[in-house]
Amino acid sequence: MSAPSIETIVNLSKRRGFVFPASEIYGGLSSAWDFGPLGVELANNIKNAWWRWLVHERDDIEGIDTCIIQNRLVWKYSGHEATFNDPLVDCRTCKGRFRYDKLHEYHCPRESSTCVGKGKECDLTEPRQFNLMFKTTVGAVSAEDDPSALVYLRPETAQGIFINFKNVLDTTRRKLPFGIAQIGKSFRNEVTPGNFIFRTREFEQMEMEYFCHPKDAAKIHQEWIDAFLQWFKDLGISEKNLKLHEQTPDELAHYAVRCVDILYRFFPERPDEKAQFDELMGIANRTDYDLRQHSKKAVDEHGNRINPDSTEDLSYFDPVTQERFYPYCIEPAAGVNRTVLAVMMDAYSEKMSERGEKRVILKLKASLAPIKVAVLPLAKNKPEIVSMAKAIKKDLMKDFRTVYDDTAGIGKLYARQDEIGTPFCVTVDHQSLEDNAVTVRDRDTWEQDRINVSQLGEYLRKRLKEK
């Protein structure tokens, strides 16, 4: 089967409760989406997989959870206030607004009856810089009355890590190299959001800042690129839909000397193979830029202090070499929402049933599946079957996310679970009342095993691990 388009995933998401348009009953809000009951489980499973892998299963990374709103000076010294901009142009003819850096040529990209467009007589303004940070105020004042009340919603979670570098270092007694990980919401007033949850103004990031000696940074950078490529494969994403992109100098953010993006094939329907891929995550070498920027003692190339406002110096003292320096930082930064989308697109498949009906199967890795087991009674009008099924559900739910469903015939119930990626369905039938055994159906093969209820938990645990 050919790869599904994002549109196919939008429909599935809405129909089954993965993702809903935000503020829908008021006509929606441009490019804003809410996770529904299944989407929140999938996103949580992805975040847990990331956290477990980095923070729990290694011994060189700590976790942290910092504020979305920080002192405005954080964004002054991080460079975001001055440089986190998109260059915009307006078309005076069609009133469209476009990112100047995304235009292939300096003319309006719209071809419509209202715009002369495509180069000849369209009327574009000069590019001007638009800062992407959302502004708000702290306290019962407006920014006009009291400019010091102005604050920003963070556009990356990373800065919360840099400004806590010393706190983490002092409290955990870490030695280089070590990392600090954080998962949380970020906000960017994107000029051209779109493509479902691919680019939104509010989104969630999973970021890790890995601090090291400058001489080790290039090697460690490459190790994290390789490790994350493998991590996405381990999430079940197929290799052919993943690709690396070495950012060109004009693509690099103001803080990076090298950045490699991991791309996913988000747009399989595009004829140009290169255009099918877009960014899933970026892995940057941020050098010592951020720690120096936030340090009271750091000086620029002219010997002038970079930051007269900071009260701390974020340098590191190596007790073995007796050397004091600002560590370099390697930053693997992934989007939760884009990972959810990539995982769903990659898991999507269709299969014909024996009756010739098209069935959707979401072949999610079991650890990511929102629901692990569905318990289904074959006859809902038979109280003994229903109560046995409910008792099995109650028992299984202590170990796995389990649901009970009797709201349709068994064929439909199976189809519903396949479509949301539930790895196993457990069916209680008339025979179960006699032999205390149930049928376990595999989502991917539709094969069925008969298992005694006393062994069911053990059986599912083993099979879920393999899937």
Q: Which residues make up the interface to ligand GAP (CB under 6 A)? A: 156, 158, 188, 190, 199-200, 203, 205, 207, 279-282, 331, 333-335, 337-338
For the chain, count helices (H), then strands (E).
Answer: 13, 23
CB 339 to ligand GAP: min, Å: 7
Longest pairwise C-alpha distance within the chain: 86
Query: Judged by CB, which is closer to ligand GAP: 236, or 457?
Result: 236
Which residue do the tokens 């307006």 mark? 90
Query: Judged by CB, which is closer to ligand GAP: 107, or 338?
Result: 338
260 Cβ contact list (under 8 Å, min separation 6): 221, 225, 244, 245, 246, 247, 282, 283
CA 344 to each of CA 1, 208, 323, 452: distance values in angstroms, whole numbers, following the listed order: 15, 24, 48, 33
CB 187 to ligand GAP: min, Å: 9
Query: Judged by CB, which is closer to ligand GAP: 224, or 404?
Result: 224
Query: Judged by CB, which is closer to ligand GAP: 333, or 376?
Result: 333
**Where does 298-382 have alpha helices with state H?**
336-347
428 bridge partner residues: 377
CB 166 to ligand GAP: min, Å: 20
CB 198 to ligand GAP: min, Å: 6
Query: Judged by CB, which is closer to ligand GAP: 184, or 282?
Result: 282
CA 258 to each of CA 1, 55, 277, 333: distance values in angstroms, whole numbers, following the listed order: 37, 25, 20, 14
Query: For residue 459, what is the enclosing H or E element?
Result: helix 453-466
Query: Judged by CB, which is closer to ligand GAP: 161, or 392?
Result: 161
Residue in the shown chain whose Cβ atom is closest to ligand GAP: 335
Token representation of residue 235? 């999430």
CB 441 to ligand GAP: min, Å: 35
Going by C-alpha positions, the residue among 377, 327, 89 that lies closest to residue 211 is: 327
CB 280 to ligand GAP: min, Å: 6
CA 18 to each of CA 49, 262, 328, 369, 388: distance values in angstroms, whole numbers, following the listed order: 19, 24, 39, 12, 30
CB 331 to ligand GAP: min, Å: 6
Q: With 0-12 CB in 10 A as exposed, 13-18 as middle and 19+ as buried, what is 249?
A: exposed
CB environment 44-56: b (16+ within 10 A), e (fewer): ebbbebbbebbbe
CB 31 to ligand GAP: min, Å: 9
CA–CA separation, 37 vs 361, rounded Å?
18
CB 150 to ligand GAP: min, Å: 22
CB 192 to ligand GAP: min, Å: 10
Query: Judged by CB, which is closer to ligand GAP: 46, or 371?
Result: 46
200 Cβ contact list (under 8 Å, min separation 6): 31, 32, 33, 190, 193, 337
- Report strand pairing: 61-63 vs 178-187: parallel
Query: Judged by CB, which is closer to ligand GAP: 205, or 307?
Result: 205
Query: Judged by CB, which is closer to ligand GAP: 212, or 260?
Result: 260
CA-derived radius of gyration, the chain:
26
Query: Judged by CB, which is closer to ligand GAP: 199, or 221?
Result: 199
